[in-house]
Amino acid sequence: MKILIADDDRMSRRLLQKTLEREGYEVSAVGDGRLALQELSSPDGPRLALLDWMMPELDGPCVCLEVRKQHERPYVHIILLTSRGSKQDVVAGLEAGADDYLTKPWDRAELIARLRVGQRILQLEDRLVEARETMRFKATHDPLTSLFNRGVIVDLLDRELSRTRREKGCTVVMLGDLDHFKSVNDRYGHVVGDEVLREVARRLLASVRSYDFVGRYGGEEFLIVLNNCDCGQAIVRAEQVRNGVANYPVQTTRGQLAITMSIGVLASRDWDLGLVEEILGVADRALYRAKAGGRNCVSLAKKPTALCDFPR
C-alpha cells in the first residue's frame, strides 16, 4: 500500500522510509508541507500519510485542512508526528483533520500498529463507498439491461429539455420499440427474451455518443436522448440506431434471432411544448406511425402546422 512521509528532517525521514519499506509499504517521502499536499492531491496519491507537525511551507495541520477540503478524492488516513504532548495540541491536530497522532520519538511497534488500524479504517471506508454506489446504481438503473430506469431517463430528458430551451439548442428524442417481441417470449421463453433485451441495450449504447442518455422506458421500449444534436440530423441518427439493432442477428442460447426496432423521433426545436409528458406523447404517436407503416422503420414527428395538429 502507498504511504506518504512528510518530514523536513532528512535523517528522520530516511529512518521512517526504511522502517516502512521493510514492512512492505510503497513509500513516498518529501521534505515540506506543500510537496506533501501535492502528493496527496494527485489522482493516484497515497491513502496513508505520516505528517510531521512542524514543516516548511505548510505545517502538518494545514496540510490536513487542505486535504479535507478535497471531497471528491478517496479518503486519506493521516497520522501527525509531533513532539508536542499537550492535550490542547492533540485536540488542535485532530480538529484540523488528522485521524491519529504519534509522539516523537516514535516506537516502531506502535507505529506499525497504528498504520494497520489506518488500513482497516480505509478498507471499511472503501466497503461503505462500494455499498453506497451499489445502492445508488440499483436505484437508478434497470436491473436487467443496466440502462437508466424509466424514472431516471424521463428526469434526464426533462432536465435536458430545460437546458436546451435556455441555450436555444436542440435535443433529439427517440422512443423505440422492439418489433414482434411478444412472439420471441412466446416461442423461445422469457430467458431468451431477456438475452435479446440485454443485447439490444448494449447495441443502443454503442450507437450513441458517450454523453447521450439511453434508458429502458418499459418492457421492450427504450428512450434515447441525444444532447446538443443537430436537428437536421435527427432522422439520420435514428436510422443509425435502428440499423445498429437490425443489421446483425442477436446470438441467444436458442440460436440467432433477427430483431428489429421501430422508432418515433422528434427534434425539440420543432415543438413548442413545455412538459416532458407532451414531448413523450408526440414521440409515442410517431412510434405508432412507424409500427403502422410496416415496422423496422423510423417516423419523424412533424412540426404542427395548424391548431388542430397539436397533441391533445
Catalytic residues: 220
Task: Report the distance separating Cα 157 and Cα 173, nearest Å.
Answer: 8
Task: Report the distance separating Cα 280 and Cα 154, nearest Å.
Answer: 9
CA 155, distance to chain mean position in Å, is: 16
Q: CB–CB of 80/109 below 8 Å?
A: no
**Of the candidates 306, 303, 266, 270, the residue with the CA atom closest to the CA atom of residue 286:** 266
**Of the candidates 80, 112, 73, 64, the residue with the CA atom closest to the CA atom of residue 7:** 80
- Cell numbers at residue 23, please? 514492512
Q: CB–CB of 283/265 below 8 Å?
A: yes
